[in-house]
A and B are shown apart, each in its own frame.
Chain A
Amino acid sequence: MSVKPFLRIDNIRKRFGPIVASDGVSLEIEEGEIHSLLGENGAGKSVLMSMICGMVRPDEGDIVYKGQSVRFASPRDAIRQRIGMVHQHFMLVPNLTVAENYILGQGSALSVISDMTSVHRKIRALSERYALDVRPDAIVEDLSVGEQQRVEILKVLFHGIDLLILDEPTAVLTPQETDRLLSLMGDLVKDGKTVVFISHKLDEVMRVSNRISVMRDGRVVNTVRVGETNARELARMMVGRDVRMELPRSPKPPGRIVLSVENLTCRAETGLPAVRGVSLDVRAGEIVGIAGVSGNGQTELSLALSGLLPVDAGRVILNGNDITGLDPAEINARRFSHIPEDRHKHGIVLPLSLSENTILQRYDRKPFATGGMLNRRVIGEHTRDLIKRFRVKSRDENQPIAALSGGNQQKLVVARELARDPDFILVNQLARGIDIGAMEFVMEEMLRQRDSGRAILLISTELEELFAICDRILVMFHGEILGELPPDRTRLDELGLLMAGNKDEPALAG
């Protein structure tokens, strides 16, 4: 243990505006190991690794690599030091061949590409050695996601590396491709390379790593050897935080089924399967939570429910009526409200005023419009009323909503969606990016809505939010509902295991 570490990260800090991404991270990587970084979204894994490979510069702290303190100004410097990173989002030019992608940015702008055949030969040799199946003359955009990832890995090997960083590489892979990738990591280590593997999937991490570091809130919580831990302990480290929020909740038996989802299946915009046969019921007077690390199909589930993404199979029943495949206007009109995940993309129109944002769905209906003309007086009164009731801090209703803080924008979205008098409220990330005060306010409002008999589905990556207000919590992983738990804080590690994709946790406990 006392040998000089291959890579040492010492007390690194990085802020992006008000957001602290790295809050004094220290970490040691030994030569020739597979070191996993485990943590929820936003724990600071990717940012940390981006600093090691020269994409992002730390504000404070040291990076000591092969015994020397280094400070990379660009990824080029890192590559020169034989550090390579494969990013979550591929950095390939789609309409070029594999070989052309590899020589991009190599040499000076004026040098003539002389010898493509030797480039091709080198690619073929590497591809054979690691069984990567990469053809140098293939056009990148013709390749599948899994193939493109192998192209990315081979690109890094092509440039020559000692340290390989893989950022959530398995997120886009099928199980077979994942197996293949994990065994490739073993082969690389056998050839003397060091691998850092970023993931939030426990089973994969347990399978390949020598050591595992768990990150949370911009810090490394703990580093453990794989033989000295188990999945349950890792899960607790990953999610184990203080759940502070205590909101009084009246025990109340839920009523009739308002929304029923049967075997819903749909694909993401990329065409990959995202939601795989999800079934669930939400009753009147109940808040059902969906927990999960982001990217496990929650976004697609909420888009499909609200008519923004085509449904491949299954049904959505609202108040006894089949609403599958209806367009958003028709779904909106059936007492369906939606507080969207991405406020700036879907929820509001930033340059428009508060007034204009409150009538987004009802701009052409009475009382907001008569005879095709907007009723500005009525709209103004309605907006002032919402501003007052929901304590939206703003100058007046004619101010552009862009001028408001995130919390106040969200309050207005919540106000608008509740003002439509819904039976069912779909919420994706109730309190994302808003301050504590606004957060408490919108949560209490959700509880009031529940008590008044509305059915609420709350999709969230924030456990705090879920524990504070849900009546029961479903866990979504890889497009499926893996299980259901009561919002019982003593069972946090069970929740963590489910979120990390371990359905049969006893099998992994050892």
Chain B
Amino acid sequence: MAEINQGVRETVNSQAAQAFYRTLSQAAISALAPIAAVLVALAFGALLLWLNGFNGSDVVTVMVFGSFQDMRSVGEILLKATPLILIGAGLCVAFRCSIWNIGAEGQLYVGAIAATLVGTSIDGLSVWVHAPLVMLAGALAGAAWAGIAGYLKVRFQASEIVTTIMLNYIALILTSYLVTGPMRDASAAYPQSARLVREAWTPRLVSDLRLHIGILVAVVLAVALYIFLRRSSRGFALRVVGLNPHAARYAGMNVARNVMIAMCISGAMAGLAGAFEVAGVTRRLYQNISPGYGFEGIAVALLAGNNPLAAILSGGLFATLRSGSEVLQITSQVPQVLVLVIQGIVILSVVAFAKLRDILRTVA
């Protein structure tokens, strides 16, 4: 017995094992903080509902689990998770580089416009060519739109927070103009574009669900961005620029180039999300194709601690809450405003717990 104890102690004492336990505890702290944030927020939400005369715990239960009824509803959650994961993972890259891209919504719209143009103007291509082409068009357009703000930042030191927000308005109004004007389907009563040709549609994952392969693309890209940030030399440079631009310059890194790259990656992800909304869900461009995915994506990245891998989970969570709130609207009297308030509390407590996590990390 004593010998075994001795052996265990030796193992624990060995440096590799210590490093392993440290990594484990760090990871636990990293993972627990956002989970705790969500739980606290939901508890606050329940309290708020109770104060408004509802059965708080029941409503919150519906919000979280109500949408897991059958395959179809799970498919709907994943459908909503697709743009949130794409945008959230992309924004993780920008935020890691200290680029505050608030313009994912606009980049999504511009991606949707480009996807619609490519999806309606070309005919006769194979689905193997046309569908990817539509995605590529969306990503490039989103990257270019974000690139405008990036250029203004590196060339004129214009705050990207301001320029990306303004570019949001331009993209939204441009979309309105296009679907009521040049791109309008004349035969339709409602302002909308012509329908994309069938080969341009994003292939469905399961034939009788709306869910398309976009969710797989989103997960694969989130993993790829995680590896990019952690393991590639470019990702390293982006992180150094984000943490200490002075040291980056001293080390000979091109700060402007890295800022542009981070901006364009996040823009491309949002543009791709826009392409999937058109080619995978609506098949046509509408004025309000996004219910604010671009803004919710910021919260997704925040909850994920700017880790693209974690953005898969946090994107899933926000999609679940969104679906849950739709169920609530149908089945109960809870006003949608209260649901929005609960989402707001989630974001606030994420910020609070992020601070706590940093403190715990330095202690561990």
Contacts and interface: CB of A to CB of B under 8 A. Distances in A.
Q: Does A associate with B in a complex?
A: yes
Interface of A: 306, 308, 327-333, 338, 340, 345-352, 356, 359-361, 363-364, 368-369, 372-374, 376, 396, 398
B240 to A, nearest CB: 6
B250 interface: yes
Given A338-B250, A361-B251, A349 B244 contact: yes
B259 to A, nearest CB: 16
B212 to A, nearest CB: 31
B205 to A, nearest CB: 31
Contact of A345 (B15, B232, B246, B253): B246
Interface string B211-247: 0000000000000000000011110110110011011
Q: Dominant SS at the B interface?
A: helix
A347 B250 contact: yes
B228 to A, nearest CB: 9
A320 to B, nearest CB: 21
Contacts of B234: 364, 372
B354 to A, nearest CB: 14
B19 interface: yes
Nearest to B236: A363
Interface string B244-273: 101101111110000000000000000000
A369 B233 CA distance: 7
B137 to A, nearest CB: 26
A361 B234 CA distance: 13
Interface residues of B, number: 20
A333 B253 CA distance: 12
**Shortest 9 CB-CB distances between A and B: which pairs?**
A329-B252, A360-B251, A364-B233, A346-B250, A369-B233, A328-B252, A349-B244, A332-B252, A361-B251
A268 to B, nearest CB: 15
23 contacts: A328-B251, A329-B253, A329-B254, A331-B252, A332-B252, A333-B252, A340-B250, A345-B247, A346-B247, A349-B240, A352-B239, A356-B236, A359-B236, A360-B247, A360-B250, A360-B251, A361-B252, A363-B233, A364-B233, A373-B231, A373-B232, A374-B232, A376-B231
Interface of B: 15, 19, 231-234, 236-237, 239-240, 243-244, 246-247, 249-254
A419 to B, nearest CB: 14
A327 B249 CA distance: 9
Nearest to A351: B243
Contacts of A373: 231-233
A360 B240 contact: yes
B108 to A, nearest CB: 28
A306 B250 contact: yes
A396 B232 contact: no
B246 A346 contact: yes
B249 A374 contact: no
Contacts of B244: 345, 349-350
A356 B253 CA distance: 14
Contacts of A308: 249-250
Contact of B250 (A328, A333, A363, A376): A328
Contact of B19 (A352, A363, A398): A398
Given A349-B240, A396-B19, A374 B233 contact: yes
Contacts of A360: 240, 247, 250-251
Contacts of B237: 363-364
Contact of B15 (A328, A372, A396): A396
Contacts of B249: 308, 328, 346
Contacts of A374: 231-233, 236
